[in-house]
């Protein structure tokens, strides 16, 4: 029953979900040094994102590929990709060599950035973000938010972040109670156990070679 519930949530709210994921990948140099708390930094990043997405003149004067490249150029630092990759592979991370870990981290981050950034460019529709609370413990924090679209659909989104220097960067998201990292870990474990780690890498590479136009709501999965 829980498995079916996760699928329904993903399908019903995927546009809102990719919006929040894309918000999360933004780390802007313009974030104020005084915006020291995790929630304040997140608000600043999301406001920057919305400014770009709401700038009709800018979007009309640039191709999707140009906009994609601009966003990617400033997006990569917003995730702690090493932490995400390690947590997503779980026990299989320990078995990987340094070169394998580097390759996996690059493949995984490139895949998710490309998928979610393309989709948010195509599907952003004025979603609103409401910030409920933040819980800080040392160098880690949880930010609880809600995203509401124009149809009134509300999705709870929790950001797990870790402090890196002066920046708070994300290492997991909890969407309607479902951890992004745990979701991918289930997929990765299934492939590795049914086939091999090499097959997982192959699937990640094949996914990136797929045409962007083939993307669909089902591609909230990293691999199939």
Residue 79 gets which letter from DSSP? B
Residue that is written with structure tokens 């592979």 in the block = 89
φ/ψ (deg, to 5) at 82: -65, -45
Q: Do residues 160 and 148 lie in contact, with contact meaning Cβ atoms separated by under 8 Å?
A: no
Per the DSSP assignment, residues forming a β-bridge with 161 are: 141, 170
Longest Cα–Cα distance in the chain: 50
pLDDT recorded at residue 99: 98
Torsion-angle region of residue 138: left (phi > 0), alpha (psi -120 to 50) or beta?
left
Distance in angstroms (rounded) separating the CA atoms of residues 81 and 171: 7
**Phi, psi (deg, nearest 5) at residue 190:** -60, -45
Task: Say what the pLDDT of residue 26 is.
Answer: 43
For the chain, domains (ranges, CATH) are 2-220 (3.10.450.710)
Q: How many CB atoms lie within 10 A of CB 155?
A: 21
* Residue closest to 197 by CA, chosen among 80, 85, 109: 85
Which pLDDT value is given to residue 165? 87
The residue behind tokens 């150029």 is 73
| Nearest Cα residue to 191 out of 151, 149, 221 | 221
pLDDT at 212: 53
Mean pLDDT by 10 residues, the chain (224 residues): 39 49 47 67 77 82 81 67 94 97 94 77 81 95 90 90 89 91 95 97 88 44 60
pTM: 0.76
């Amino acid at each position: 029953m829980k498995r079916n519930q996760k699928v329904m949530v993903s399908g019903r709210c995927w546009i809102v979900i990719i919006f929040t994921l894309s918000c999360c990948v933004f780390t802007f140099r313009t974030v104020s040094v005084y915006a020291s708390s995790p929630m304040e930094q997140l608000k600043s990043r999301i406001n920057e994102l919305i400014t770009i997405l709401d700038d009709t003149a800018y979007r009309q004067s640039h191709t999707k590929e140009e906009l994609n490249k601009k966003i990617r150029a400033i997006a990569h630092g917003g995730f702690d990709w090493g932490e995400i990759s390690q947590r997503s592979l779980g026990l299989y991370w320990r078995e990987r060599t340094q070169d394998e870990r580097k390759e996996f981290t690059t493949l995984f981050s490139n895949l998710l950035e490309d998928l979610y950034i393309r989709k948010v460019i195509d599907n952003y529709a004025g979603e609103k973000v409401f910030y409920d609370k933040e819980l800080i413990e040392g160098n880690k924090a949880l930010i609880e938010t809600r995203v509401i679209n124009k149809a009134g659909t509300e999705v709870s989104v929790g950001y797990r972040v870790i402090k890196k220097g002066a920046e708070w960067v994300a290492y997991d998201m909890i969407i309607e109670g479902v951890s992004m990292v745990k979701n991918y870990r289930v997929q990765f474990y299934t492939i590795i156990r049914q086939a091999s780690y090499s097959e997982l890498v192959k699937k990640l590479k094949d996914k990136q070679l797929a045409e962007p136009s083939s993307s669909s709501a089902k591609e909230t999965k990293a691999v199939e």
